[in-house]
């Protein structure tokens, strides 16, 4: 067989050859919605490659992007790696210290920055050791006032660049194409490097009928940020298959999302549960026609069943939970129905949709505990291990590699069970797991149960030290407005939980809080909770 | 990213882990229909690997299969290559001389042979230089009477073998996995070697929503023989995605095909036009319920529009034409509709379905003539060149490699046009193209036009030498029974054609024949026609 390398440039070429008139619809501000054809996209992508090459970008050069979801960011997704350079997608929500850390650690030489985000980086500039050029992505035709040198306008550079720039066809498919950093529980973010091969194979996986099934007929709206695990790979796959794409740009809100879905007849969209909860609320208040949607994909953290039920039952939109991590490109599994699930009741089907689902073709998974591999019985918990061609094998120049990548497997730090049907269900993080009297208790299962109670807005369950059992669960609950945090409520909630779990799973106490501390990506920061509460409830 | 190799053994593991109870339904004779679960399939596949290893199969050993479509052949599809050995799928319809040639050329050491086909090979045995073992695949528990030594029963071997045989996980993904020989216009068949990487990527392509979309919910019936270009890759993809599979076994006929479709609720099936014409005839005579079918895929040669229309209009089954060759694994393109084709009329859509369609993601194509690359304008003909990771880069130990594989491209020898939408339409073979007065005339277009006439059963158009124009087209026509082959008919047909083409395309004459000579795979043998008719019509 031919040794044709799997390269991202082939996606650009395909879109241009077969779907030149299909559109990328890109909102860059309230005043600007761009309609770019794939013909134009391909030209602009080659121009970007030419322009950045003229600025000094070479094979292996790291180019950072600090940007929302829009067409220019998409051009960078292809224009940078297709030359052999590496696009480092910087999470704009990191703390300034961590932003400086990741730019310095990746050794970014050029930064592509949205005009509204530029002030953040300008302030950090004195700390950025390797950056030689700032390129402002925006619609303004004037450079912002700045004391920095080497600041360019993206559109100016493109204007002077050649649209016949040729991407090398002989790149090794294992060449680095992209980088994302993932937040760590403690310490600096950890870098993950994506290869052309990994992204191409991941894109094939996203196009499978049994997975997200991204196809030419789709109109895809990636809400998940392009600086989060490649926007779950959707921008790559959408170009590959020639789908219409819609990008929401900066400062979007639920109303804007719904307007875009209605106006552009979006068929497929993806984001975190927080977004879908907000979108649902807006939809109930101000109805829109969302009948064009064939799927909503939800990931990043567990989706409440009420949310799934609302979209599936009331709005007739299949709502899929996906699972993945920055280290996994990210798609690992998706809650698609296999044929044997057809005969389940509606309620059972919603239970299934709420799980992390079926491993996508191309990856292998297993669960292990202290005794080795655990059975797929829907009960036995184990740490999830993953292997496959779009799974990272290291953290970039980081000694934390040794802990997570062992024997050819990625140790996710997630605790899960597998049903007999090979359906993945996350139950915890290794760090958050509660080990009571030698048995494992899933904090996530308890949290989900609390959150089905009408009075509860959100709930986190953490381990607190215990003399006899070593650890016991403690529930931290935020009530809805208007509810009273008193002993009656405590009793009601504990009784509510008792009926659903083994006796020893039921938390010994509940602490009512105003808010649960969260990470920059909206996940519960249980470490902070543990630190905050460990002393106050010691000896419970 | 992890350097996880793309290996066929991962398909077996996936089917076993995620879809253990899904079925492979396999007819091996009128008396035997087997129902094998993927759990059993995986065990039997490992047993086969163990059994053949005990017979001496090593990394790189060629194992020939001489068999119909059934579960044992499927076990060989995985059990042989997953060990690092190579399955050579022998075309049972080759001449005895060519069968001996391909077995000797591939250096097959073990032959897996259907019991009803064994006599063919037994007769050839004295000429087979490298074969050490014959393994009879069948349901009989007794060895056939034979003078040959080293003849084994497949089921006996499996009974003695271990179902915990472990496939190596560290095979290089470029290891040879399979071989098919393709008939040549002259000379011996040419060998094509498939790698694990090529087959895995091809399987991903078959699962894409924009391609065949093979998925877990499908019930797949591969009618195209497993000795023809991997049965178009369907057995591999079906195991990968956990689809139910139905195999028709030996001596199947249209009635059996329809019975299987109806009984097993087949959703996807594939075969050559000849099969579908026969199936349609049977269906009209003896109606069956074929409403379970979501797609029929047709390839191998051009499909008459009447056939497409009948399935699409009367039976509401989307009928796709695919294009591929032994050298291309084989899927290159498929006549899927892109979104812009929705607004076409029914008749225009049938025209589109009859084309070879859209190049599948992962491959590149171009058309060239003497002056270089030709435009995609729906008119300009050129030879089709293909490049990609499941395209062969040589003929196995064959000097004809030099002519077909050049500059990193495979020269198909097929003449085609591309529409502006990137839709492929074959117009001829390079060898069959008619070059009249410096212009190219498509014999296939003319043949298709003749065959839409009610009186015509089949038609071949060939080039005959001409003093002034160098070549001119001559039509060779077989009429339906009851039609009269006289000058009136000749005149009627030529008039019929005149309305549809430029004047200089219209054949100068028609020769009526009883039959058009065909290759072993049912394609017109125009070389024979040219030889037969060149003298008789010289000087026309």
Q: Is the pLDDT of residue B495 over 60?
A: yes
> Considering only residues 229 to 248 of chain A, which have any Cβ-Cβ distance to chain B shorter than 8 Å?
240-242
**Using the 8-state DSSP alphabet, how is residue A313 labeled?**
I
In 3D space, the residue among B303, B295, B292 whose CA is nearest the CA of residue B206 turns out to be B295
> Which residue intervals of B21-146 are DSSP H helices?
38-54, 71-79, 96-106, 118-124
**Cβ contact, residue pair A174, B215, below 8 Å:** no
Question: What pLDDT score was predicted for residue B521?
Answer: 67
- For every residue of B266-310, DSSP letters joined together read --EEEE-HHHHHHHHHHHHHS----TT-SEEEE-SSPPPHHHHHI
Per CB-CB distance under 8 Å, the chain A contacts of B265 are none
**Cβ contact, residue pair B387, A2, below 8 Å:** yes
Of A272-276, A483-487, B111-115, B485-489, which has the strongest mean pLDDT?
B111-115
Q: Is the pLDDT of residue B10 over 90?
A: yes
Contact call for residues B226 and B69 (beta carbons, < 8 A)? yes
- Spatial distance between the Cα atoms of A341 and B19, rounded to a whole number of angstroms: 12
**Cβ contact, residue pair A1, B393, below 8 Å:** yes
Percentage above 70 pLDDT, chain A:
98
Task: Summarize pLDDT for B228-239 with one digit per residue, the tens.
Answer: 999 999 999 999
Contact call for residues A391 and A354 (beta carbons, < 8 A)? no
Task: Summarize pLDDT for B285-327 with one digit per residue, the tens.
Answer: 999 999 999 999 999 888 888 999 999 999 999 999 999 999 9
**Using a CB cutoff of 8 Å and minimum separation of 24, what contacts does B22-25 make?**
B22/B216, B22/B242, B22/B243, B22/B244, B23/B244, B23/B245, B24/B71, B24/B74, B24/B244, B24/B245, B24/B247, B25/B244, B25/B245, B25/B246, B25/B247, B25/B264
Question: What pLDDT score was predicted for residue A521?
Answer: 67
Chain B's closest residue to A406, CA to CA, is: B2
In 3D space, the residue among B411, B441, B422, B433 whose CA is nearest the CA of residue B378 turns out to be B422
- Spatial distance between the Cα atoms of A294 and A318, rounded to a whole number of angstroms: 7
Q: From the candidates B53, B274, B440, B518, give the one annotated as an active-site residue.
A: B440
Output the tens digit of pLDDT for each of chain A's 540 residues: 999 999 999 999 999 999 999 999 999 999 999 999 999 999 999 999 999 999 999 999 999 999 999 999 999 999 999 999 999 999 999 989 999 999 999 999 999 999 999 999 999 999 999 999 999 999 999 999 999 999 999 999 999 999 999 999 999 999 999 999 998 767 899 999 999 999 999 999 999 999 999 999 999 999 999 999 999 999 999 999 999 999 999 988 999 999 999 999 999 999 998 899 999 999 999 999 999 999 999 998 888 889 999 999 999 999 999 999 999 999 999 999 999 998 999 999 999 999 999 999 999 999 999 899 999 999 999 999 999 999 999 999 999 999 999 999 999 999 999 999 899 999 887 778 888 877 788 888 899 899 989 999 999 999 888 888 888 999 999 999 899 999 999 999 999 999 888 888 999 999 999 988 887 767 788 888 888 886 554 443
* Angstrom distances, CA of residue B490 to CA of A149, B192, B455, B458: 82, 43, 11, 14
Looking at B196-292, which runs of residues are DSSP E strands? 219-222, 244-247, 268-271
**Cβ contact, residue pair A2, B392, below 8 Å:** yes
**Cβ contact, residue pair A3, B390, below 8 Å:** no
Per CB-CB distance under 8 Å, the chain B contacts of A214 are 209
In 3D space, the residue among A306, A223, A328 whose CA is nearest the CA of residue A271 turns out to be A223
The dihedral region occupied by B346, where left means phi > 0, alpha psi between -120 and 50, and beta the remainder, is alpha
Contact call for residues A460 and A447 (beta carbons, < 8 A)? yes
Looking at B168-209, which runs of residues are DSSP E strands? 176-182, 190-195
Structural domains present in chain A: 1-248 (3.40.50.12780), 357-429 (2.30.38.10), 434-534 (3.30.300.30)
Q: Which residue has the tokens 């379970």?
A: B292
- Spatial distance between the Cα atoms of A179 and A227, rounded to a whole number of angstroms: 9
- Spatial distance between the Cα atoms of B498 and B486, rounded to a whole number of angstroms: 19
Q: Is A401 on the interface with B (CB under 8 A)?
A: no
CB atoms closer than 10 angstroms to residue A126: 9
With 0-12 / 13-18 / 19 or more C-beta atoms within 10 angstroms meaning exposed / middle / buried, residue B380 is: middle
**Signed CA dihedral, A141, A144, A149, A153: sign only:** negative
Mutate to test the interface with A, among B2, B328, B333 (most CBs of A within 10 A): B2
> Using only C-alpha atoms, what is the Rg of chain B?
24
**Cβ contact, residue pair B422, A362, below 8 Å:** no
Task: Summarize pLDDT for B461-480 with one digit per residue, the tens.
Answer: 998 888 888 889 999 999 99
Q: Is the peptide bond before A292 cis (omega within 30 degrees of 0)?
A: no
Question: What pLDDT score was predicted for residue B434?
Answer: 87
> Using only C-alpha atoms, what is the Rg of chain A?
24
Pairing of strands B434-436, B439-441: antiparallel
List CB contacts of B160: < 8 A, sequence separation 6 or more: B51
Contact call for residues A270 and A225 (beta carbons, < 8 A)? no
Q: Is the peptide bond before B330 cis (omega within 30 degrees of 0)?
A: yes
- Spatial distance between the Cα atoms of A366 and A12, rounded to a whole number of angstroms: 36
Contact call for residues B152 and B136 (beta carbons, < 8 A)? yes
The minimal CB distance from B2 to the residues A19, A207, A393 is found for: A393
Mutate to test the interface with A, among B21, B173, B209 (most CBs of A within 10 A): B209
Percentage above 70 pLDDT, chain B:
98
Q: Is the pLDDT of residue B522 over 80?
A: no
DSSP H or E segment with residue A533: helix A526-534
> Residue-wise over B485-503: b if at least 16 C-beta within 10 A, else e?
beeebbeebbebbeeebee
Chain A's closest residue to B327, CA to CA, is: A1
- Residues listed for chain A: 540
- SS3 string, B500-511, reads CCCHHHCCCEEE
Determine whether B182 is an active site residue: yes
Contact call for residues B83 and B106 (beta carbons, < 8 A)? no
Q: Which residue has the tokens 């985000």?
A: A117
CA B526 to the chain's CA centroid:
20
Q: What is the mean pLDDT of residues B339-355?
A: 92
Per CB-CB distance under 8 Å, the chain A contacts of B214 are 209
The minimal CB distance from B388 to the residues A2, A174, A389 is found for: A2
Looking at A291-421, which runs of residues are DSSP E strands? 295-298, 319-324, 331-334, 357-359, 364-369, 372-373, 382-387, 405-406, 409-418
Q: Is B209 on the interface with A (CB under 8 A)?
A: yes
Instruction: Please tell me the least confidently modeled range out of A80-89, B131-140, B490-499.
Output: B490-499
């Amino acid at each position: 067989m031919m040794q044709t390398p799997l390269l991202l440039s082939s996606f650009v070429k395909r879109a241009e050859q077969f779907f030149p008139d299909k559109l990328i619809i890109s909102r860059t501000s309230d005043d600007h919605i761009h309609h770019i054809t794939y013909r134009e996209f391909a030209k602009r992508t080659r121009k970007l490659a030419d322009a950045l090459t003229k600025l000094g970008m070479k094979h292996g050069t790291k180019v950072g992007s600090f940007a929302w979801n829009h067409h220019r960011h998409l051009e960078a997704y292809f224009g940078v790696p297709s030359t052999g350079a590496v696009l480092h997608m910087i999470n704009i929500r990191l703390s300034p210290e961590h932003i400086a850390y990741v730019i310095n650690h990746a050794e970014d030489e050029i930064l592509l920055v949205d005009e509204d985000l530029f002030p953040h980086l300008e302030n950090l500039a004195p700390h950025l050791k390797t950056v030689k050029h700032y390129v402002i992505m925006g619609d303004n035709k004037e450079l912002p006032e700045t004391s920095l040198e080497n600041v360019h306008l993206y559109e100016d550079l493109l204007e002077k660049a050649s649209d016949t720039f040729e991407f090398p066809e002989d790149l090794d498919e294992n060449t680095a194409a992209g980088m994302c950093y993932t937040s760590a529980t403690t310490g600096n973010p950890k870098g993950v490097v994506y290869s052309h091969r990994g992204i191409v194979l991941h894109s094939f996986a996203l196009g499978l009928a049994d997975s997200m099934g991204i196809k030419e007929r789709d109109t895809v709206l990636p809400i998940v940020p392009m600086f989060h695990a490649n926007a779950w790979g959707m921008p790559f796959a959408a170009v590959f298959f020639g789908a219409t794409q819609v990008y929401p740009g900066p400062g979007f809100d639920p109303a804007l999302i719904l307007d875009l879905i209605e106006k552009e007849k979006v068929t497929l969209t993806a984001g975190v549960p927080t977004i879908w909860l907000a979108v649902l609320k807006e939809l109930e208040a101000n109805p829109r026609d969302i009948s064009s949607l064939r799927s909503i994909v939800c990931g990043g953290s567990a989706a409440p069943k009420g949310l799934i039920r609302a979209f599936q039952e009331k709005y007739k939109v299949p709502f899929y939970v996906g699972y993945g991590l920055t280290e996994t490109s990210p798609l690992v599994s998706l809650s698609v129905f296999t044929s044997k699930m057809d005969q389940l009741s509606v309620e059972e089907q919603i239970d299934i949709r709420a799980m992390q689902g079926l491993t996508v073709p191309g990856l292998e998974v297993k669960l292990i505990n202290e005794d080795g591999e655990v059975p797929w019985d829907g009960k036995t918990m184990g740490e999830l291990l993953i292997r496959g061609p779009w799974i990272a094998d290291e953290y970039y120049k980081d000694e934390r590699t040794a802990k997570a990548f062992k024997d050819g497997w990625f140790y996710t730090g997630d605790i899960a069970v597998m049903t007999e049907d090979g359906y993945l269900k996350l139950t915890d993080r290794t760090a958050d797991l509660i080990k009571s009297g030698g048995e494992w208790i899933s904090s996530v299962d308890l949290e989900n149960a609390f959150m089905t109670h009408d009075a509860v807005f959100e709930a986190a369950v953490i381990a607190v030290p215990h003399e006899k059992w070593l650890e016991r669960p403690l529930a931290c609950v935020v009530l809805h407005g208007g509810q009273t945090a008193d002993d009656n409520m405590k009793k009601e909630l504990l009784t509510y939980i008792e009926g659903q779990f083994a006796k020893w799973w039921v938390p010994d106490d509940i602490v009512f809080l105003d808010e649960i501390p969260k990470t920059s990506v909206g996940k519960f920061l249980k470490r902070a909770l543990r630190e905050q509460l460990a002393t106050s409830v010691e000896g419970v």
